[in-house]
Structure 1
């Protein structure tokens, strides 16, 4: 990879054609949330919707191994990047480690509702092993592409409350917390990619990242869809009912595939950088949502806002009893 004496300015200078750097005042921190005691109250935990539940369950299967892989890749660049980016990588690794931990707990909860995740996990392992056998720079661009996919989905999950409407309360909080941190570190892999390819021509960089994004996206869509239909079949839904039901969910309402298509295309534009859209407000929005349950706790701080208390009361009313 080579170590060129430089500051963050060198990465920014090289990035002028392909985008701006992560905001200087952004502090990436791990909130280290714990949801291990959160019980999935219903097998179809997303508002009783089998399609939404299958979608998020299949997505969750990817996180423990996938995020462990991302950490492994970026840590190999940590000692060779400018100091600011090195700090961001450390924050990224801390966040992803906690995400992996919490989704391991979540996935165990899925299995306890009588879903078999074996085939989904093996398919993921095969993909990660394949990418892991590539040269490190290709592992990095694959990580960069997957981090963009994760970030645009995370933003969509926070912006559109329809995704977790009537979902099990603890699981909704977990997903919003995870999404907020994905938004917060969305530029780290891309800035690492810019630094690692600082000696490349802008055209070579663009061709490489664009080709990988198409390849990664097709594989991601194919494998997640296959996993979703595996879970739907285990839930008693197959054939045309499964296809039409999931197509409506993915493309009509709440439409996670359709609504993230525009942000996906931005990756291919000249001057792209994940932080060209400053959506740090989504982090605060997500935190106001998943923190609201604290308002109901006897240990809640005294300076609770009226809005926070109202949100907590509203959620308490709609929380359903747990299934034995």
Structure 2
């Protein structure tokens, strides 16, 4: 692809109000916990992403790509820090966050015993998943409408940066593993396995999160999540074609050209600066 986007390190702090961690979304507990459950995966997952691409840094010869990898690592490091703070608030609200994070960490430790090329393929697969989820959030403005502003900002920031760096690991993978049958087969295998493992953990984690917060028997809340995912607006259902494009032999992340959303970054940075009583900053 001819599109080249250089990721920008944005060292932002969101000052999340811990007392709102279970009720920050206007749709209620079940939708709030849907987002909160996603956060459980990010610290361990992003540390894994960083290491998987670092394994091949010495093999990357393209200077522009090397710079993008450095920026990708910086972005993922900041994501890790902010979601650690987010998850600490969830733990403080009485949710078994540490136990679930340990499950994710153990799974990723097992993946680290596989060849480095498989680890990078897993990162490419999961980066596509997070890019699709990020696009879903940015494309559907009503998802975070009227949400508590600090939590809404952290999710928009994460979605923007996942969009911005969505091709970095893919381009690194194609350079070090290749575009031939082996490279294609490995990334597709990794994509199928990564999705199976991710959703296989996400669904029970989500049920635990809702149950421990007292929402198990609130049928209206479960119905709201069904509508969110598969009904109206059905944002995950609508994202399926973009998700499935990964199986195309000629796929590249910037075939989904949503770079227009990156223009939202300066205003978001100004908003976050206001949370911390800092002068407005620009990307």
TM-based fold match above 0.5: yes
Structure 2 distance, partners of 1:84, 1:224, is 35
* CA positional deviation for 1:236: 1.6
Gap runs ≥5 in structure 1:
1-19, 302-324
**Equivalenced residues, count:** 277
Corresponding position: 1:31 with 2:38: no
CA change 1:238–1:299 in 2 (3 A) is closer
SS at match of 2:146: coil
Question: Which residues of 2 match residues 104-143 of structure 1 at below 5 A?
Answer: 104-143=84-123
Question: In structure 1, what is the Cα distance between the partners aligned to 2:228 and 2:202?
Answer: 14
Displacement after TM superposition at 1:57 (Å): 0.9
| Equivalent residues in 2 for 1:234-313, closer than 5 Å | 234-238=212-216, 241=219, 244-289=223-268, 291-292=270-271
- CA distance change for structure 1 residues 33 and 240 in 2, over 3 Å: closer, same or farther? closer
CA displacement, residues 20-40 of structure 1 (integer Å, 9 cap, x when unaligned): 36x34x2211011112x3214
Runs of 4+ in 1 over 6 A off after TM superposition: 295-299
| 1:94 is the counterpart of 2:70 | no
Question: Larger C-alpha radius of gyration, 1 or 2?
Answer: 1
Change (3 A) 1:77 1:156: same
User: Equivalent residues in 2 for 1:146-185 (5 A)?
Assistant: 146-185=126-165
Q: Secondary structure at the match of 2:58?
A: coil
TM-score, normalisation: structure 2: 0.89
What is the CA distance between 1:264 and its match in structure 2?
Answer: 0.4
Question: CA offset at residue 220 of structure 1?
Answer: 1.1
Deviations 1:82-112 (A, max 9, x none): 2111111101001000110111111111222
Aligned CA-pair RMSD: 2.3
TM norm structure 1: 0.79
Rate the CA distance shift 1:168–1:251 in 2: closer, same or farther, 3 A. Answer: same
* Whole-Å separation in 1 of the counterparts to 2:89 and 2:194: 28
Change beyond 3 A, Cα 1:84–1:132 = same
Shift in alpha-carbon separation, 1:215–1:243, aligned structure 2, 3 A: farther
Q: In the superposition, relative to structure 1, how do residues 234 and 164 fare at CA in structure 2: closer, same or farther (>3 Å)?
A: same
> Within 1, Cα distance between the matches of 2:185 and 2:277?
56
